[in-house]
Structure 1
Amino acid sequence: MNETTQTQGSLHSEARIAHGALHRLRQDLFVDAFAFRPLPPLEDAKISRWVPWLPGRLRRWACWLPHLTVGFFSVCVLLAMLASSGPGRLHGLLSAAFAVPVAAAPLLTLFRPVGAYWLALCAFVVGGSVDAVVDPWGDVFGNGAFPALLAVMVLVVLRSRPRLAAEMWLVTFAAAGVIMLLTGSGLGQLPPTAFFCAVVLISAAAVRAWREERRQVVETQSVTEEERTRRTLLEERALIARELHDVVAHHMSVIAIQAEAAPYRVKDTPPELATSFATIRENAVAALAELRRILGVVRSADPDAFAESDPEAPQPTLGNLDSLLDSVRGAGLVVEAVVTGSPRPLPQGVELSAYRIVQEGLSNALRHSPGADARVEISYVLGGLGVRIVNGAPSRLAKPSPGAGHGVLGMRERVQMLGGEMTAEHTEDGGFEVAAFIPVANTTGETKAGGARA
């Protein structure tokens, strides 16, 4: 009883496997066999990688190289079959009529790959049957249709999924075996020819699988890089939000304290004025509470972002630039600082962003240009603040850095947040330059000073 049940289960499993194989065969070779699938031209990146020495004018035509190659092969097949036609006008016409579909099949793979296989297979079956009938001792694979069929199968595998190699191999040699049996030809040529074709098709399938795997790896790397860039941008925005919280919270606290103390500085304060000051204080306190709530959300995504630093320490400004320069000099970077214009108090957000830009620029110089000198320029101009960090070419090989470019992304985010402009590019001597301008609204004191200097 158990043996019968196991036998039935084994037969059922084998039937399911066979049904699944036939279903895949039907989906691959019969459903939408003549669907229009044009081969796209080569991408410019591939052309530049394969033939970087090719002039730009010829590079526009190089993208059609696969199409031209297949077309040239089809023309060669047509000429070869016409040249091998026997004497006689009727025989020549029949050979020409047979050569046209054989030569057209490789060309058809550029537009309808599976349909091209069926066209080549039909030409092979017809040609092999005729040759076997005319010459019983002849070779079914001896006519020109079989090399064209093999080339078509290779092109179809390279353009489609690798499993088509096994499916087309089975269909082709099943048809060849049937022709040999019906025409009485010997099966002696079938095993070696089938083995040779299997090696060719397996090689083509391996190339196709390698190309597909490489494409997926490139796509994965692109997605990973985009995700890394997006994460870096979000982290930088979170950092900016935390720093701005400290700046804004300080001013809001001052407003709340002054609004609370103002009524006590005036004798006989009118009730309306006291109410106004109380409203100002309530709004300031509410704004502080909202800021703390938003900061809590930002910090919850990365609670250990400032684990190594004092969260209660004041945010750095340009006044702390000397200590920053001393620290990078201690790390081995030769840096020079130049300040032009008249230093003046700037909004804390501007000073904090300028300090972070200088900090990141010097960090990039240490990381990517070891042994190079650096120069920091701070320009106080009417209407804004200019920051420039430039370093020379590295004197030794830099270690690879997986986060290359993300520091520049953070600097650009800071400058854009303040409505400024920034450039980051390589210099002619092999170094790197970061230049930013952060606009600052003119205050009354600046206007007077500017008028006095004029």
Structure 2
Amino acid sequence: MSDLPRARRLGRTRTKAPSRVGTGRVPGAWAQLAVVLRTPARTTEPLFARAPRPWQRMLPYVVAALFVLSLLPVTITVLTNDYQAGGGWSGAFGVAQTVPLLLAVTRPVAAWALVLAADTLGAVQLLGADVAGHAWPWTPMAVVGYLVLMACLGLRESVRTLVGVWLVTGAVGVVLHFFQPPGAADTAALLFVLAGVVLALTGALRGLGDAQQRIAEQESISEAERSRRTLLEERARIARELHDVVAHHMSVITVQADSAPYRLPGMAEPVREEFEAIAASARESLGEMRRLLTVLRGDGGDGGGVGERAPQPGIGRLQQLVETTVRAGQPVDLSLAAEAAEAAGAAPPAVDLSAYRIVQEALANVVRHAPGAATRVSVTVDADEVLVLVVNGPARDAPVALESSGTGHGLVGMRERVRLTGGTLDTGPLPDGGFRVAARLPLDAGPGAGTTPANEDAR
């Protein structure tokens, strides 16, 4: 029980940070690059702008520069030597057809318009050259540069834009086909097909990335909503349980106020009227509580069940809870002195109920996540507080399906119950693979017990 002193020293509620299940590291830089490819940048960002490493963010610029440096001299040489175009025209068209590839990293639509215009003017210029046996209207270098441009477009633009680019490419090729010189190898259909394939592949890649991003955003929203719903459900459950406790006291007040004139004969009329007012106020309060409980119970599916009408458990029933857990196959050792059980009977009902529920949830979590693990439960009651400690070792068996012995909200419910009584909670893993739950519940809660600071709710 060496953890009990530590539980006494707790000054604030602490809980274990959520584990990152299913978010394993991406193995290798190329796998990370594949992730970046599946989540293309937005239209206002360069390609790979969200890559995790600087060299990955620079990669599109490097690739575009390499294509420009390789295609530019080859284009000028081929146009000059093979197509017998003038040196000036060859240089001008070589620059116009290749340099805009650098712009494709950030503005692919503008780069496509410049390249398509340059390729079209180049094809028109070659009408007066000797193109027999050569590719026309698109030279091999123009085809390679155009496909690189299609890849940039596919990773950045919408499907409507990609379809429009593809159709314009085909339309320009069809128009130029009517002016095809004799003996030239027509490359309009080739570029149309290859451009469609590249656009389809890169567009599908972009669509996959967008879908994954939407799924991730929806999962984040769903997780936040699920956490909030769990918190609200647990608070409603606690309110229902406290209703039974408070209703008992209000019923006692009503009975005492109603029976006072009979138990104390000779009571003055003003005193009798005062007791009648007290009884009326108590009955009205009970009615308001019942109406509030009807709202908290929601659909009423479990509002009339035996469990809702049964007396609320406390520390005195921990032995029965532990015996039930042991019969289910979970080894549990309970440390609860007879004096502690008797002292707990005088504890505030909220503290008595909270201590029981914390042990119940802790044991339910052990059954879920560490079946067969040796578990120690210790409850100590002194003049000032109730200390609850549940420690389990590593799991001996494989986890089983969720059971329903607890309220179903685990650490969330524990935290809310501890906050209700003004106590503290400490949960966390142990070095040997086990887990510890330590709660301190003061018997005399101060004025601020049960309040929820704004920063606590925000956290």
TM-score (norm 2): 0.74
Cα offset for 1:229? 2.8
Aligned to 1:422: 425
Distance 2:91 2:191 in 1: 26
Distance 2:380 2:123 in 1: 86
Aligned to 2:68: 78
Distance 1:143 1:120 in 2: 14
Q: Is the 8 A contact 1:256 1:281 kept in 2?
A: yes
Of the candidates 239, 243, 246, which is equivalent to residue 244 of structure 2? 246
Q: Is the 8 A contact 2:331 2:375 kept in 1?
A: yes
Instruction: Report which stretch shifted further, 354-363 or 341-350.
Output: 341-350
Unaligned 5+ segments in structure 2 are: 1-21, 32-49, 447-459
Distance 2:69 2:302 in 1: 74
List per-residue Cα deviations over 1:282-309 (Å, max 9, x = no partner): 11111101001111112233422674x4
Aligned to 2:360: 359
Is residue 439 from structure 1 mapped to residue 442 from structure 2 by the alignment? yes
Task: Give 1:214's aligned amino acid.
Answer: Q
Of the candidates 217, 223, 228, which is equivalent to residue 215 of structure 2? 217
Q: Is the 8 A contact 1:374 1:390 kept in 2?
A: yes
List per-residue Cα deviations over 1:194-229 (Å, max 9, x = no partner): 223322222222222322333333334333333333
Residues 105 and 374 (structure 1), Cα distance of their counterparts in 2 relative to 1, 3 Å cut: farther
Is residue 280 from structure 1 mapped to residue 275 from structure 2 by the alignment? no
Unaligned 5+ segments in structure 1 are: 1-44, 55-59, 444-454
1 or 2 for the larger relative contact order (CA 8 Å, sep ≥6)? 2
Aligned to 1:121: 116
Task: Give 2:57's aligned amino acid.
Answer: H
Task: Give 1:378's aligned amino acid.
Answer: V
Q: Is the 8 A contact 2:101 2:111 kept in 1?
A: yes
Aligned to 1:200: 198
Q: Is the 8 A contact 1:383 1:442 kept in 2?
A: no
**Following superposition of structure 1 onto structure 2, how do residues 69-108 of structure 1 map, counting pairs within 5 Å?**
69-84=59-74, 85-86=76-77, 102-103=97-98, 105-108=100-103
Q: Is the 8 A contact 1:74 1:103 kept in 2?
A: no
Distance 1:134 1:354 in 2: 94
List per-residue Cα deviations over 1:386-440 (Å, max 9, x = no partner): 2222222212332466999942222222222333332333222222222222233
Is residue 165 from structure 1 mapped to residue 162 from structure 2 by the alignment? yes
- Give the percent of matched residue pairs that are identical in Structure 1 and Structure 2: 35
Task: Give 1:364's aligned amino acid.
Answer: N
Distance 1:433 1:333 in 2: 16
Aligned to 2:457: none
Instruction: Report which stretch shifted further, 278-287 or 337-346.
Output: 337-346
List per-residue Cα deviations over 1:164-214 (Å, max 9, x = no partner): 333221111222332343453756323333223322222222222322333
Q: Is the 8 A contact 1:318 1:354 kept in 2?
A: yes
Distance 2:180 2:388 in 1: 88
Distance 2:113 2:170 in 1: 14
Q: Whose helix fraction is larger, Structure 1's or Structure 2's?
A: 1
Aligned to 1:451: none
Aligned to 1:8: none
Distance 1:441 1:107 in 2: 73
Q: Is the 8 A contact 1:236 1:410 kept in 2?
A: yes
List per-residue Cα deviations over 1:211-262 (Å, max 9, x = no partner): 2333333334333333333332232222112101101100111111122233
- Secondary structure of 1:75's aligned partner: helix
Is residue 298 from structure 1 mapped to residue 296 from structure 2 by the alignment? yes
Aligned to 2:412: 409
- Secondary structure of 2:170's aligned partner: helix
Residues 67 and 258 (structure 1), Cα distance of their counterparts in 2 relative to 1, 3 Å cut: same
Aligned length: 392
Instruction: Report which stretch shifted further, 245-254 or 332-341.
Output: 332-341
Task: Give 1:353's aligned amino acid.
Answer: S
Distance 1:128 1:53 in 2: 39
- Secondary structure of 2:175's aligned partner: helix
Task: Give 1:49's aligned amino acid.
Answer: V
Distance 2:30 2:378 in 1: 42
Distance 2:364 2:301 in 1: 24
Is residue 327 from structure 1 mapped to residue 317 from structure 2 by the alignment? no
Q: Is the 8 A contact 1:136 1:183 kept in 2?
A: no
